[in-house]
C-alpha cells in the first residue's frame, strides 16, 4: 500500500470520523464549562494549550482530506469541504493580540459546527433541510398572507381590548404569533369574547389553520424531502453497482480475449 492509498484509508476510516467527533464534543463541553466556572491561571494555560492542539488537529485533518483527492480541485467541488476549509483557515489567522481578539474567539466557537461535517448522518439532514427550503418559503409566504388577513380582522374587531394586543396591525401580528405558539392564547380569546361573544370562531379557526394545518405542511415537506434524498441515495447505490458489474464484465472480456489469443498461438 502506497502513501496515497494509506491517506485515503485514513480518510474513509470510521475511527478517524469518530475521533474528530469526540474532539469537537470535548472542545464544545470545555467552551460551555468556561462560561460557568471561574478558572485560575493553571487552567487558563491548559485551555490555551488545548486550543493549539485542536487547531493543529483540524489542520492535519483538512490536509489529509485534501491529499486523499485525486485532484485538489475535486476537494473544493464539495460545499462541505469548502465549509471545513474556511473554518480551519479563519482559525489560523493570528488575531489574539489585536483589536480583533473578540472576533477570533467567535470563530473558535464556530469550530463546533465541524460536528456537522464530521458525521455523514448530520450532513444528510442538513442537505435535506436545504433541499426543502423552496417549499418552506412557499408555505411561509402563504402563512404570512393568513397572518395578514387575520391581523387586519383582529385590529378591526378587538382594537378596544384593554390589553392593547390589537391596537394596530403590527401589534396584532405579534399577538397572532403568540397565539400560534399556544402561549396563553385562551386568555386572549376570553378577553376578545367580552367584546364579541362569537370571537371564539376567529381564534379557533386561526389555531386550526395556522397551528395545525401549516405545521403539518412543514412536516409533510420535510418528510417528502427525506424520501427524495433516500431515493437519490438508492439510485446512487444502484449506479455504483452497475458500474462495478460493467467493470467486471470488461475485465472478463479482456481475459477471454487473452485466453483465445493464447489458444490460437498454441
Give me the residue spans of the domains in the chain.
3-118, 124-257
Domain 3-118 fold is 1.20.120
Enter the DSSP assignment of 165. Answer: T
- In whole angstroms, what is the distance from residue 15 CA to residue 54 CA? 17
- In the structure grid, which three cell numbers stand for residue 159, read together? 382594537
pLDDT of residue 38: 66
Angle made by CA atoms 69, 73, 75, in degrees to the nearest 5: 50
The model's pLDDT over 236-247, given as tens digits with 9 standing for 90+, comes to: 777 777 877 887
User: Rg of the chain over CA atoms, in angstroms?
Assistant: 29
Percent of the chain's residues with pLDDT above 90: 18
Domain 124-257 fold is Helix Hairpins (1.10.287)
Q: Give the mean pLDDT of the chain.
A: 81
- In whole angstroms, what is the distance from residue 185 CA to residue 203 CA? 8
The model's pLDDT over 129-181, given as tens digits with 9 standing for 90+, comes to: 887 888 888 888 988 999 999 999 999 999 888 888 998 889 999 999 999 88
pLDDT of residue 234: 76
pLDDT of residue 95: 60
- In whole angstroms, what is the distance from residue 165 CA to residue 155 CA? 9
- In whole angstroms, what is the distance from residue 210 CA to residue 204 CA? 10
- On the question of pLDDT at 227 being above 70, the answer is yes
- Going by C-beta distance under 8 Å and a sequence separation of 6 or more, which residues neighbour residue 148? 173
Say if residues 78 and 107 touch (Cβ distance below 8 Å): no
The model's pLDDT over 80-137, given as tens digits with 9 standing for 90+, comes to: 788 888 878 877 776 665 555 555 566 666 677 777 777 777 777 777 788 788 888 8
- On the question of pLDDT at 213 being above 70, the answer is yes
Amino acid at each position: 500500500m502506497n502513501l496515497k492509498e494509506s491517506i485515503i484509508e485514513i480518510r474513509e476510516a470510521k475511527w478517524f470520523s469518530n475521533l474528530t467527533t469526540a474532539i469537537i464534543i470535548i472542545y464544545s463541553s470545555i467552551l460551555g464549562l468556561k462560561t460557568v466556572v471561574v478558572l485560575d491561571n493553571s487552567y487558563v494555560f491548559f485551555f490555551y494549550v488545548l486550543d493549539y492542539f485542536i487547531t493543529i488537529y483540524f489542520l492535519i485533518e483538512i490536509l489529509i482530506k485534501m491529499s486523499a483527492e485525486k485532484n485538489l480541485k475535486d476537494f473544493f467541488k464539495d460545499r462541505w469541504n469548502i465549509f471545513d476549509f474556511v473554518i480551519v483557515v479563519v482559525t489560523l489567522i493570528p488575531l489574539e493580540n489585536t483589536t480583533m481578539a473578540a472576533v477570533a474567539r467567535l470563530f473558535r466557537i464556530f469550530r463546533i459546527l465541524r460536528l456537522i461535517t464530521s458525521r455523514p448522518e448530520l450532513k444528510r439532514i442538513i442537505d435535506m433541510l436545504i433541499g426543502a427550503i423552496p417549499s418552506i418559503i412557499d408555505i411561509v409566504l402563504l402563512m404570512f398572507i393568513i397572518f395578514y388577513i387575520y391581523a387586519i380582522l383582529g385590529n378591526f374587531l378587538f382594537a378596544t381590548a384593554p390589553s392593547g394586543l390589537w391596537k394596530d396591525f403590527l401589534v396584532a401580528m405579534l399577538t397572532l404569533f403568540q397565539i400560534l405558539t399556544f402561549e396563553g392564547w385562551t386568555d386572549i380569546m376570553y378577553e376578545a369574547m367580552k367584546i364579541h361573544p362569537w370571537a371564539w370562531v376567529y381564534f379557533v379557526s386561526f389555531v386550526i389553520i395556522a397551528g395545525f394545518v401549516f405545521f403539518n405542511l412543514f412536516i409533510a415537506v420535510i418528510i417528502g424531502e427525506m424520501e427524495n434524498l433516500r431515493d437519490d441515495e438508492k439510485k446512487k447505490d444502484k449506479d455504483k453497482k452497475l458500474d462495478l458489474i460493467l467493470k467486471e464484465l470488461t475485465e472478463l472480456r479482456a481475459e477471454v480475449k487473452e485466453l483465445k489469443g493464447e489458444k490460437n498461438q498454441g
